Structure 1
Amino acid sequence: MEISAYNLIFHEIIGLFTKVINSNNPSLEEIRGKVVGETKNMLIVETDDKNEKMVPKSGSTFLFHIHLLRGNTRVTEQVKVNGNLLLSQPENRIKNIRKIRMR
């Protein structure tokens, strides 16, 4: 299943560009870069200056950039995601899409 705004939270997010647009910790806001790692509670974001920042999922809101193919045109869509929806081990979160598709 192709990644979309509707199923982003069930897909692999490593490799996607993201920006922290809101956080309980104001010093984390405006962190932007490529997601290079993920744990149950954290996203690891590689910034433009090649530093890795650990951002807690809980209490943060992320803006992800996803690339879609619409006909013969490639478009980038921005998707805002409450980090609390990502709280899970990545492999378990990805498995949940199967349960939803079976309904």
Structure 2
Amino acid sequence: MRCAQNLALHELLGTNAKVASSQSNPFVGLSGMVVDETKNTLVLETQGRQVRIPKKGCTFVFTYEGRKTKVEGAQIAFRSEDRTKKARMKPFKNAKRR
């Protein structure tokens, strides 16, 4: 089940995201809805335009069901279908178990 604690293990499309920090300053502070995802990038729709942001080197804050979750881009630098398969096999080190 997708919740704020294990959001990094699930599909990110449709969630709201903000770039909290980045090795590339122009991305810091950008926020919007995730409309596309590849192995190495997220595409955010922000202010009527789409911005492609590299996952590695960035820290994202995702908002899901009113709760904010901070995720390092390197933790989600997989194809979304591979990440969800890994979630079934073993939890990420930062995922909380219930």
Q: TM-score, normalised by structure 1?
A: 0.84
2:69 equivalent to 1:79: yes
What amino acid is aligned across from residue 14 of structure 1 in structure 2? L
1:31 aligns with 2:30: yes
- Structure having the higher Rg: 1
TM norm structure 2: 0.88
Contact map agreement 2:5 2:69 (CA 8 A) in 1: no
Q: Percent identity?
A: 36
For residues 30-69 of structure 1, what are the structure 2 equivalents within 5 Å?
30-47=29-46, 49-67=47-65
- Runs in 1 of length 4+ with deviation above 4 angstroms? none
Shift of 1:6: 2.6
Tell me the secondary structure at the aligned position of residue 5 of structure 2: coil
Deviation, structure 1 residue 96: 1.1
Which residue of the other structure, out of 79, 82, 87, is the alignment partner of 1:97? 87
- What does the per-residue CA deviation read over 1:37-60, in whole Å, with 9 as the maximum and x for residues that have no partner? 00000000000x210000000000
Structure 2 CA distance, aligned partners of 1:33 and 1:94? 22
Tell me by how many angstroms 1:21 deviates: 0.8
Instruction: Tell me how many residue pairs correspond in the alignment.
Output: 91
Partners of 1:13 and 1:26 lie apart in 2 by 23
For the residues of structure 2 that align with 1:64 and 1:6, how far apart are their CA atoms?
Answer: 11
Could you tell me which residue of structure 2 aligns to residue 4 of structure 1? 3
Equivalent position SS for 1:88: coil
Q: In structure 2, how many angstroms separate the alpha carbons of the residues matched to 1:31 and 1:82?
A: 15
Please list every run of 5 or more consecutive structure 1 residues that lacks an aligned counterpart in the other structure.
68-75
Which stretches in structure 2 are left out of the alignment for 5+ residues?
92-98
3-state SS of 1:6 partner = helix
**1:7 positional shift:** 1.3
Aligned CA-pair RMSD: 1.1
